[in-house]
Amino acid sequence: MTSSSGFIKLLTVTIVLALFQISAGQAQFNALVWSDEFDYTGLPAAGKWTCEEGGNGWGNNELQYYTMNRIQNARVENGVLIIEALKENYNGREYTSARLVSTGKGDWLYGRMEIRAKLPGGKGTWPAIWMLPTDWAYGNWPSSGEIDIMEHVGYDPTHVFGTAHTEIYNHNLGTQKGSSVTGSDWETAFHVYAIEWSPTKIDFIVDDNKYYTFNNEGGWEKWPFDKRFHFILNLAVGGSWGGAQGVDPSIFPGRMEIDYVRVYQMADLKITGPAYLEPGQIAKYQATRFTDAVYDWHIPSDAQITAGAGTFEITVKWGTFEGDIALNVTIGTNNITAANFVKTVAVPSENTFWFGNLTDGNTSDLTVNTIDGSTYEFSESSESLKVVYLTVNPGSWPKFELTIPRPVNLKNHPWCVINLKTFNLSHSVSLRFDFADINGVETNATPVFRPTIIGDGLFHLYQNNYTGRWLSSSPAVGQVVDSTRIIKLTTYINGGVLGQSNKTDSIWIESIRFLTSPLTLVDQQELPDNAIRIFPNPVADRLTVTSNNIIEKIEIFDIRGMRVKRITDVKNSAAEINTATLPPGVYLIRFRTEASWGNPLKFVKR
């Protein structure tokens, strides 16, 4: 709030700009982050405003004494803030009024500052809605800047003014930058006075019509507006500009009425919280916090918000379905939305977890990661995944990766068993398996899972114990792999110091599984061919058994050797077995024919 006779001449020239006003919106500032709606009664809210006190002229030879928390001069009633100037003797002054500041309670860098107000009239009044720097980073006035959102002098009832002051552009030098708007009802009707302040410019706006732009020309001397500023709302009496044509004592009391003060800023709504949850897990999700905002959360139907509904932070009990944790935030008349997709972690309920499906004919879950021209070709059949590789440079550690659809909690399943075969005709089949968690931390600490390969063209089981060894040493030593969130297998074939250049060969992987305990001898025995045939294998709901002999009894065992089904009265050379109730896994089935039990066969239940 400043004055000069040259300022009036400058603004008279620019009044014509009001005829060419440009529509200005607040789309770029879409979140109401602070406001006072004056929906209360009494003194201005102490949490948002401080009444500055004094009668020293305030640098402009003003006549009033600004009082501290005096309801006669500053009060809220009927939904508006009233700043009232009175003609009365008070502490050596002939007038009293009020000056409200938001220092330390409402300080901002950039945004749309919007005030709806009705102005006082009469010669000698000087209402102002303006901003000063909170920290004075570039020195005293005018070095650190001033933004006058609205100024009005009573002897010129048809104009309101907007101005910026800096080290180079200020009224002391007659170089201040600003403009004005012409109107006839500033003193009888409410109008919205605003600025839209960004790193590149400040737009001055009345009733959503932009009438002046102050551009950032670079350097603090021209643009000190890269620091936080606060509001000042005041009604001065007289002074070097407001009293330039004298003061009419008969007009008092005079009042400025303010309907609201609002600050909008860019809303970058974010939700933070776990990306993966187990069924029944309790977790917290937090969103960007805005003042006076309404938070409306949406979660999958089988999940539950256990605390914080309607706030920026909620506690959720997760269900069994993956889905969005979505949020709609209403700030004033604006709505902002955000969503985080949360996947449900698989938690094995059985003693065996099958890592990936290698026999479904779909290789989209496999990716190649090489930098030297090494190649991998994949094909899947009902028996296994076949991998044909060509290693160009083993030192570049060529690899392929298998990613499962959702992470799995393998904390209680530390035994990994991989069933594979190779003929190893090139004598280059050396293998290493690393498992990674959702953060990309791999089980690459010594000892790694590097099986000794048997190249006889038969499937063999290779086992590794991760108990106490979910560890990583690269890229940083001492990391712990999150065994509750395993999602990827990395396979190196003919890589590293044991590899051979320019070699090609094949491997077949029948299954990868994790167990709660190591395999038993019966699990690892070779199952010979016999007169019994079973199909399909793998099986879904019905397993068909045929034999050259009469089948008397059938028994099925799970991977632990526990009997899960027994049929004692077959008396036929064929039988159909209901497997729909069996959990997915590997099973052994044996048959009694002609009073003797045959060797067991293995089948997979999908």
Q: What is the pTM of this model?
A: 0.53
Q: Which stretches of the chain drop beneath a pLDDT of 70?
A: 2-28, 30, 291, 520-531, 595
Q: CA–CA separation, 50 vs 68, rounded Å?
A: 8
- pLDDT at position 214 is 97
DSSP state letter for 321: -
Burial 299-312 (b: 16+ CB within 10 A, else e): bbeebebeebeeeb
Q: Are 450 and 432 in contact (CB under 8 A)?
A: yes
Tell which CATH architecture fits domain 5-265.
Sandwich (2.60)
**Residues 442-451 pLDDT 10s:** 999 988 999 8
Structure tokens at 405: 């659809």
pLDDT of residue 2: 57
Q: Quick check: is 151 catalytic?
A: yes
At residue 415, the pLDDT reads 96
Per-domain boundaries in the chain: 5-265, 271-344, 355-519, 523-605
Q: Is 510 among the residues known to form the active site? A: no
Please tell me which residue in 114, 146, 196, 257 is annotated as part of the active site. Answer: 146
Separation of alpha carbons 384 and 359, rounded Å:
5
The pLDDT value given to residue 474: 87
Residue 165 contacts by C-beta under 8 Å, 6 or more apart in sequence? 2, 141, 142, 145, 146, 147, 148, 171, 176, 177
**pLDDT at position 46:** 96
The domain 271-344 is placed in CATH, from the list 2.40.50, 2.60.120, 2.60.40, 3.90.550, at 2.60.40
Contact status, residue 61 vs residue 52, Cβ threshold 8 Å: no
Contact 306, 282 (CB under 8 A): yes
271-344 and 523-605 share one fold: yes
Catalytic residue among 62, 84, 94, 151: 151
Three-state DSSP at 18 gives: helix
Class level of CATH domain 523-605? mainly beta
> For 355-519, which CATH class?
mainly beta
Q: Which residue's entry shows tokens 């990716």?
A: 367
Look over the chain and give the mean of its residue pLDDT values, rounded to a whole number.
90
